[in-house]
Amino acid sequence: MSERPASAHRAAAGEDPARHGARLHELDGDIIRLIQRRVREDRLLQDARRAAGAARTDLAGENAVLRRYQETLGPAGAQLALLLIGLTRHRDQAPGGRQEQPSHEP
């Protein structure tokens, strides 16, 4: 990551740290909800692929995801992509390690 300009440091120094913490907490909640949504969508895609007689996993598609994350976020982005992909590999476990219940969502 690049260094922030000195003017950004001065502006951030004048703000309340609790405000930044609250923003990060809100962003983390948004990220968690988006990850849960991504997991649901990926599982629906896997189900549709299986129903169409194809393999549940599309390795070329997974590799494209890895490249996209790495190109955008660097090496850590590829690690993040692997974690996201891994969340849908273990269908018997819900995120957080809980036993997954069948979904009745549309």
Residues 17, 35: Cα–Cα separation, whole Å: 27
Query: Residue 50 falls within a domain, yes or no?
Result: yes
Query: Residue 63 falls within a domain, yes or no?
Result: yes
Query: Residue 2 falls within a domain, yes or no?
Result: no
In angstroms, how far is CA 19 from the centroid of its own chain?
Answer: 24
User: What is the residue range of 74's domain?
Assistant: 16-89
Query: Residue 97 falls within a domain, yes or no?
Result: no
In angstroms, how far is CA 52 from the centroid of its own chain?
Answer: 26
Return the pLDDT at 15: 80
Query: Residue 37 falls within a domain, yes or no?
Result: yes
Query: Residue 56 falls within a domain, yes or no?
Result: yes
Note the pLDDT tens digit of each residue in 45-55. 999 999 999 99
Query: Residue 73 falls within a domain, yes or no?
Result: yes
Neighbours of 61 (CB within 10 A): 13
Note the pLDDT tens digit of each residue in 1-56. 555 666 566 566 678 899 999 999 999 999 999 999 999 999 999 999 999 999 98
Provide the CATH number for the domain around residue 35: 1.20.59.10
The total number of structural domains that make up the chain: 1
Return the pLDDT at 14: 72
Is-above-0.85 flag for pTM?
Answer: no
Give all strands (DSSP E) within 5-92, no chain letters.
Answer: none
Query: Residue 102 falls within a domain, yes or no?
Result: no
Q: Are 54 and 47 in contact (CB under 8 A)?
A: no
Give CA separation, 106 vs 40, 41, 97, in Å: 11, 11, 24
